Amino acid sequence: MVNIVILDGYTLNPGDLSWSAFQGLGRLTVHDRTAAQEIIGRAKDAEIVLTNKTPLSAETIADLPKLRYIGVLATGYNVVDAAAAKARGIPVTNVPDYGTNSVAQFVFALLLELCHRVQRHADDVAGGGWSRCPDFSYVLSPQTELAGKTLGIVGFGAIGRQTARIGEAFGMQILALARSRKETPEFERLSWARDLNDLLARSDVVSLHCPLTPETERMINGETLKAMKPTAFLINTSRGALLDEQAVADALNEGRLAGAAADVLSVEPPAGANPLLSARNCLITPHMAWASKEARERLMAEAAENVRAFLAGTPRNVVNG
């Protein structure tokens, strides 16, 4: 029976799920978290190692002679030196698409909070603000209606398309930018942007759904922000480094951008000096869009199926093949 070690299982399963899908596949050891200096000691006898964010460098992989398989408990796999693993004949797998519905829904949780500041108003009511009000109604922030607005989506994969479907349900016009334009007959109000500046200039809301590559790193920066409407909202649930965070903070603080919300930052957890943490009208959440229980259940089931397929000699979702 193979030894299976999960290096950082807590974020996937803080206690509300079961590891039973893995327990039937080998001798399972689950660690909530693993520091870099603990990896070798914990994984030295493992043939199968699963990681979410614990890095597996080329040096670490070289120091694990029994290692035969690396499973990433996420879609992004940059924490693993996939090339070094391939050189050893070790497949690296990921879990694509498990969070499509969860992340797209979270986009609108962020967007609706920017539009209505529900929590701010609820807190004010709880503090007696409504009881003291001379009128039957009041608002503490501008209220924004989405119907008729243009939702610009950068990256039109599974999450981008689901975000577009929700946007259409709100009555929004959809403007998309993608490397390739797929047939999209299900969308009634979809058009394609010529380039990024075209999308930014025409959108009332911009939502980022593209991978982090050398081409997309800091794609929202001091120059491209000039194309955006000062009334626009910016949403990032993809990768933190898609933004030049200082440039976005400056645009918010100077009134050149109406609001922004990000579930991801360039460094996580962030340093206290990250400029977005104190920027005007900026919402930051702790990389939680993926973390609905339903999405985590799908992730766990797919990760276990990846291991099962590897043991059967038919590996799936291999990213370094």
Per the annotation, the verdict on 294 as an active-site residue is no
CA distances in angstroms from 134 to 127, 131, 241, 306, 313, listed in the order given: 16, 8, 47, 61, 72
pLDDT in tens, 54-105: 999 999 999 999 999 999 999 989 999 999 999 999 999 999 999 999 999 9
Selecting among 38, 59, 223, 268, the annotated active-site residue is 268
Q: Angle at Cα 196 formed by Cα 239 and Cα 229, nearest 5°? A: 95
Nearest to 220 by CA among 174, 268, 305, 155: 155
Selecting among 161, 202, 239, 296, the annotated active-site residue is 239
Please give the structure tokens belonging to residue 278: 């104190």
Three-state DSSP state, 141: coil
240: confidence class by pLDDT, cuts 50, 70, 90: very high
Please give the structure tokens belonging to residue 6: 């999960």
pLDDT in tens, 118-151: 999 999 999 999 999 999 999 999 999 999 999 9
Selecting among 42, 68, 280, 287, the annotated active-site residue is 287
Is beta strand 190-192 parallel, antiparallel or unpaired with respect to 205-208?
unpaired
Per the annotation, the verdict on 268 as an active-site residue is yes
pLDDT in tens, 152-178: 999 999 999 999 999 999 999 999 999
CATH 3.40.50.720 in the chain is located at 3-98+293-311, 100-284
Mean pLDDT in residue range 289-304: 98
Mean pLDDT in residue range 26-38: 97
Residue 183 has pLDDT above 90, yes or no: no
Looking at domain 3-98+293-311, its CATH superfamily turns out to be NAD(P)-binding Rossmann-like Domain (3.40.50.720)
pLDDT in tens, 243-288: 999 999 999 999 999 999 999 999 999 988 999 999 999 999 999 9
320 and 96 in contact (C-beta within 8 Å)? no
CATH number of 100-284: 3.40.50.720
Return the pLDDT at 41.
97
Return the pLDDT at 182.
75
Mean pLDDT in residue range 177-206: 92
Please give the structure tokens belonging to residue 86: 């391939």
Please give the structure tokens belonging to residue 109: 């949780």
Is beta strand 92-93 parallel, antiparallel or unpaired with respect to 48-51?
unpaired
Longest dimension (CA), the chain: 73
Q: Is the dihedral of CA 178, 71, 57, 272 positive or negative?
A: positive
Per the annotation, the verdict on 239 as an active-site residue is yes
114: confidence class by pLDDT, cuts 50, 70, 90: very high
